[in-house]
A and B are shown apart, each in its own frame.
Chain A
Amino acid sequence: MDKKRRDFLKIAGVSTLAGLGGATVAGRLVSGSSPVQARAAHVVDSAAQEAGHGAPKAEAGGHGATGEVAKSGNRWGMVIDMRKFREHPGLAEKVVHTCHSIHNVPNFPDKKDEIKWIWLMEYENVFPEHSHYFKNKELLDHEVLVMCNHCDNPPCVKACPTRATFKNKDGIVAMDYHRCIGCRFCMAACPYGARSFNWRNPRDYIENYNREFPSRMRGVVEKCNLCAERVALGKQPACVEACGDTKAMIFGNLNDPDSEIRQVLKANYTIQRKPSLGTHPSVFYIV
């Protein structure tokens, strides 16, 4: 937190305490007019219609304990456009391969040891809350890319007893592999199955070692980090880059109303995974 912001919060806190302007602050909080909350409300709302589940509706009304959503600064998010992946067969596999190779994700022969950051799954596995009767053929025939959702309200962060999993101010849910004790509480907590554990030494199973990214040791959890290391340098995540000009994946700042991702979200009907759980994923799907 930078100094200015902290000072502001202090002043706001004091004035609330003093009962001066308390109403205004509270009013602001309740109305939740920040762009991120607005988009969350919008998206969740539309998803609710399809899922037919009441909970998200209530949340949109400010009922859900969503935790504070960063209102300023960058707030990273991702749109996955499944239509584009259907148009470009093989693209999804390329995306998976790119991510896994630059991040030194090992490739174990035995499924029991498996580690994955981004992978393909059937539509109904990814969106179990959505109706599956009479699905259109396109959904049936094509698998969906899944990854860590970098939830606004991440259960994995709450579960981690050592803060080895933490949420950055920019919304990226990251991990400190050197702090993780390997209790795997976060794996039980993640409702999206996004986390993997190093059951054994991964280093022998890394096909092409990328020296620019650390490999992990055994006994720790890992997952997609939204390419925090690249984003910090102003680059796009590797998966987005692997999509080239197809625009199958769009990455950007959800807090910036002029960003490309916001335009895409505005122009398309998007859904999130398991919206009723209130985790507020930052990954949106255009089906």
Chain B
Amino acid sequence: MFEKALKGNNYYWIWLAFLGSLMAIGAFCYVRQFNYGLGLTGMSRDVSWGLYISQFTFLVGVAAGGVMLVLPYYVHNFKAFGRITILGEFLAIAALLMCLTFIVADLGQPMRMLNVILHAQPRSMLFYDMIVLNGYLFLNILCGWVILTAERKQVPPPKWIYIFVYISIPFAISIHTVTAMLYCGLPGRHFWLSAIIAPRFLASAFAAGPALIVVAALILKRVANFDAGKKAIDKMVTIIIYAALTNAFFVILEFFVGYYSNIPGHKHTLQYLFFGLEHNGHVYNNLVPFMWAFVALGIAGVALLAIPYSRKKNEFLLGLGCVMLFVSLWLDKGIGFVLGGFVPTPLEEITEYYPTANEIFITIGVWAMGFFVLTILYKIAVGVEHEIEA
């Protein structure tokens, strides 16, 4: 089916070339980092995870979000999702590839990566994360491919594939749960040490993933003549709104626990993220603008999705709402959550983190790689749809 990715109009090729050049810049920057070491990033002893791991954390959610299409379609037999379930599965593939690349980019000794398997340590959450991420990637490739092939031949998919489809549903939940467990099992890091992290992650994932799919569906409608159908989009928007509100609710709960209990450790990071934290006469607040942008974009995004005019009548506003929400959730999970957790340090100090240009270009390169893969996969999926129609 790959031949479908090889035929396209000029815009298609320009888009791929654009992504390709970003990938090349990223690769060049990665070679620099590989030769010098992670010292080329803005990370330090105090903030020992930076952009790479925070992007990874966010993208695991995007990957898991695809399940919001798979589940209604296969479990509840919600027919309207028929045409776009494949978009969810393919999005998961692209997002997981980004996740794995970010992890590799973050390793100090990437050549030893296999030690995670060779010397596996089953008490480490990272071990399980590796298993579920790779497992989910495999499941999505398998299910996506088999179902698309069957569709192309216009025969029902083989029965055995449903077993894997059903397995993929708990896997989607587990990738984000285990990723949350990377954080919420650590002693002494109050901001992460919260039982609500996994649900919060899932809620934001179920909003962010579908939001991206809606945007993709709206774009495909314009550029590729692929209509997901009004009913499907509308249902997804409903899912997005509920998930985004649940996420907001969880964030508010964190505030309640921190500020009502008044335990300093539980307040510090929230204070740092949203208002700036004073320490030895200096106010540290470099993430404050990001966090208020998260709030503002979140509210505006949900409003756009909820107002009947923008939701039903104006596709541009609908898309805009989804983009705003996606960016908002990215600010929350892809920036604030991971970076904020390092403030204050275990020794009650504050070190602020600023990514370097090299680090930012690698990050952009990985994102470009993800969109590159996504474009090709969507091209194939849409190509198959058109073939059936013809």
Judging by beta carbons under 8 Å apart, are A179 and B115 in contact?
A: yes
Query: Out of A124, A161, A187, A277, which one reaches B124, CB within 8 Å?
Result: A161
B121 at the interface (CB under 8 A from A): yes
Please name all residues of chain B whose beta carbon is closer than 8 Å to the beta carbon of A184 when the two chains form the complex.
48-49, 106, 108
- Near A by CB (< 8 A), chain B positions 74-97 give none
Question: CB-defined interface of A188-203 with B at 8 Å, one 1/0 digit per residue?
Answer: 1111110011111100
Please name all residues of chain B whose beta carbon is closer than 8 Å to the beta carbon of A274 when the two chains form the complex.
188
| Top 7 A-B residue pairs of the complex, sorted by shortest distance between their CB atoms | A182-B108, A191-B188, A219-B108, A200-B39, A199-B39, A193-B346, A161-B126
Q: How far is the CA of A258 from the CA of B321 in the complex (A)?
A: 71
Q: How far is the CA of A146 from the CA of B347 in the complex (A)?
A: 10
Please name all residues of chain B whose beta carbon is closer than 8 Å to the beta carbon of A193 when the two chains form the complex.
45-46, 345-347
Please name all residues of chain B whose beta carbon is closer than 8 Å to the beta carbon of A192 when the two chains form the complex.
188, 346-347
Question: CB-defined interface of B335-378 with A at 8 Å, one 1/0 digit per residue?
Answer: 00000011001111100000000000000000000000000000
Please name all residues of chain B whose beta carbon is closer than 8 Å to the beta carbon of A126 when the two chains form the complex.
347
Please name all residues of chain B whose beta carbon is closer than 8 Å to the beta carbon of A116 when the two chains form the complex.
45
Q: How far is the CA of A221 from the CA of B43 in the complex (A)?
A: 14
A255 at the interface (CB under 8 A from B): no
- Near B by CB (< 8 A), chain A positions 99-114 give 111-114
8 sample A-B contacts, Cβ–Cβ < 8 Å, listed by A number: A125-B348, A162-B115, A162-B120, A180-B112, A182-B108, A183-B126, A188-B49, A197-B45
Judging by beta carbons under 8 Å apart, are A180 and B38 in contact?
A: no
Judging by beta carbons under 8 Å apart, are B346 and A197 in contact?
A: no
Judging by beta carbons under 8 Å apart, are A277 and B187 in contact?
A: yes
Judging by beta carbons under 8 Å apart, are B346 and A185 in contact?
A: no
Q: How far is the CA of A256 from the CA of B59 in the complex (A)?
A: 52
Judging by beta carbons under 8 Å apart, are A121 and B347 in contact?
A: yes
- Near A by CB (< 8 A), chain B positions 162-199 give 182-183, 186-189
A164 at the interface (CB under 8 A from B): yes
Judging by beta carbons under 8 Å apart, are B112 and A160 in contact?
A: no
Q: How far is the CB of A183 from chain B (nearest CB, A)?
A: 6
Please name all residues of chain A whose beta carbon is closer than 8 Å to the beta carbon of B41 when the two chains form the complex.
199
- Near B by CB (< 8 A), chain A positions 240-287 give 274, 277-279
Judging by beta carbons under 8 Å apart, are A220 and B108 in contact?
A: yes
A158 at the interface (CB under 8 A from B): yes
Judging by beta carbons under 8 Å apart, are A155 and B39 in contact?
A: no
- Near B by CB (< 8 A), chain A positions 183-234 give 183-185, 187-193, 196-201, 217-221
Q: How far is the CA of A163 from the CA of B348 in the complex (A)?
A: 28
Query: Out of B44, B124, B189, which one reaches A191, CB within 8 Å?
Result: B189
- Count how many chain A residues have C-beta atoms less than 8 Å from C-beta atoms of the other chain: 49
Please name all residues of chain A whose beta carbon is closer than 8 Å to the beta carbon of B123 when the two chains form the complex.
158
Q: How far is the CA of A185 from the CA of B107 in the complex (A)?
A: 10
Question: CB-defined interface of A158-174 with B at 8 Å, one 1/0 digit per residue?
Answer: 11111110000000000
Judging by beta carbons under 8 Å apart, are A200 and B48 in contact?
A: no
Q: How far is the CA of A279 from the CA of B186 in the complex (A)?
A: 11
A58 at the interface (CB under 8 A from B): no
Q: How far is the CB of A252 from chain B (nearest CB, A)?
A: 27
A residues near B, CB below 8 A?
A: 111-116, 121, 124-126, 128, 146, 155, 158-164, 179-185, 187-193, 196-201, 217-221, 274, 277-279
Please name all residues of chain A whose beta carbon is closer than 8 Å to the beta carbon of B106 when the two chains form the complex.
183-184
Q: How far is the CB of B346 from chain A (nearest CB, A)?
A: 4
Query: Out of A181, A189, A200, which one reaches B36, CB within 8 Å?
Result: A200
Question: CB-defined interface of B107-130 with A at 8 Å, one 1/0 digit per residue?
Answer: 111101101101111011111001
Query: Out of B48, B126, B127, B187, which one reaches A187, CB within 8 Å?
Result: B48
Q: How far is the CA of A116 from the CA of B127 in the complex (A)?
A: 28
B135 at the interface (CB under 8 A from A): no
Whether A161 contacts B130 in the complex (CB less than 8 A), given A179-B119, A181-B108, A200-B36, comes out as: yes
Judging by beta carbons under 8 Å apart, are B119 and A191 in contact?
A: no
Judging by beta carbons under 8 Å apart, are A218 and B37 in contact?
A: yes
Judging by beta carbons under 8 Å apart, are B112 and A179 in contact?
A: yes
- Sample of 20 further A-B pairs with CB below 8 A, known A182-B108, A188-B341: A112-B44, A113-B39, A114-B44, A125-B349, A155-B187, A155-B188, A159-B125, A161-B115, A161-B121, A164-B119, A179-B119, A180-B108, A181-B107, A181-B115, A182-B107, A182-B109, A183-B106, A184-B49, A193-B346, A199-B38
Q: How far is the CA of A182 from the CA of B49 in the complex (A)?
A: 11
Please name all residues of chain A whose beta carbon is closer than 8 Å to the beta carbon of B103 when the two chains form the complex.
183
Query: Out of A115, A219, A278, A279, which one reaches B109, CB within 8 Å?
Result: A219
Q: How far is the CA of A193 from the CA of B187 in the complex (A)?
A: 12
Q: How far is the CA of A175 from the CA of B276 in the complex (A)?
A: 37
Judging by beta carbons under 8 Å apart, are A155 and B46 in contact?
A: no
Please give me the residue from chain A that is nearest to B186 by CB atom.
A189
Please name all residues of chain A whose beta carbon is closer than 8 Å to the beta carbon of B113 when the two chains form the complex.
181
Please name all residues of chain B whose beta carbon is closer than 8 Å to the beta carbon of A114 when the two chains form the complex.
44-45
Judging by beta carbons under 8 Å apart, are B188 and A125 in contact?
A: no
Judging by beta carbons under 8 Å apart, are B348 and A124 in contact?
A: yes
Judging by beta carbons under 8 Å apart, are B37 and A200 in contact?
A: yes
Please name all residues of chain A whose beta carbon is closer than 8 Å to the beta carbon of B342 when the two chains form the complex.
188
Please give me the residue from chain A that is nearest to B345 by CB atom.
A193
Please name all residues of chain A whose beta carbon is closer than 8 Å to the beta carbon of B189 when the two chains form the complex.
188, 191
Please name all residues of chain A whose beta carbon is closer than 8 Å to the beta carbon of B349 when the two chains form the complex.
125
Please give me the residue from chain B that is nearest to A146 by CB atom.
B347
Please name all residues of chain B whose beta carbon is closer than 8 Å to the beta carbon of A191 when the two chains form the complex.
186-189, 346
Judging by beta carbons under 8 Å apart, are B108 and A197 in contact?
A: yes
Please name all residues of chain A whose beta carbon is closer than 8 Å to the beta carbon of B46 when the two chains form the complex.
193
Most-contacted residue by chain B among A112, A163, A180, A187 (CB, 10 A): A112
Please give me the residue from chain B that is nearest to A128 by CB atom.
B348
Q: How far is the CB of B236 from chain A (nearest CB, A)?
A: 35
Q: How far is the CB of B192 from chain A (nearest CB, A)?
A: 8
Whether A182 contacts B38 in the complex (CB less than 8 A), given A159-B124, A159-B126, comes out as: yes
Judging by beta carbons under 8 Å apart, are A219 and B347 in contact?
A: no
Please name all residues of chain B whose beta carbon is closer than 8 Å to the beta carbon of A183 when the two chains form the complex.
103, 106-108, 126
Q: How far is the CB of A152 from chain B (nearest CB, A)?
A: 13
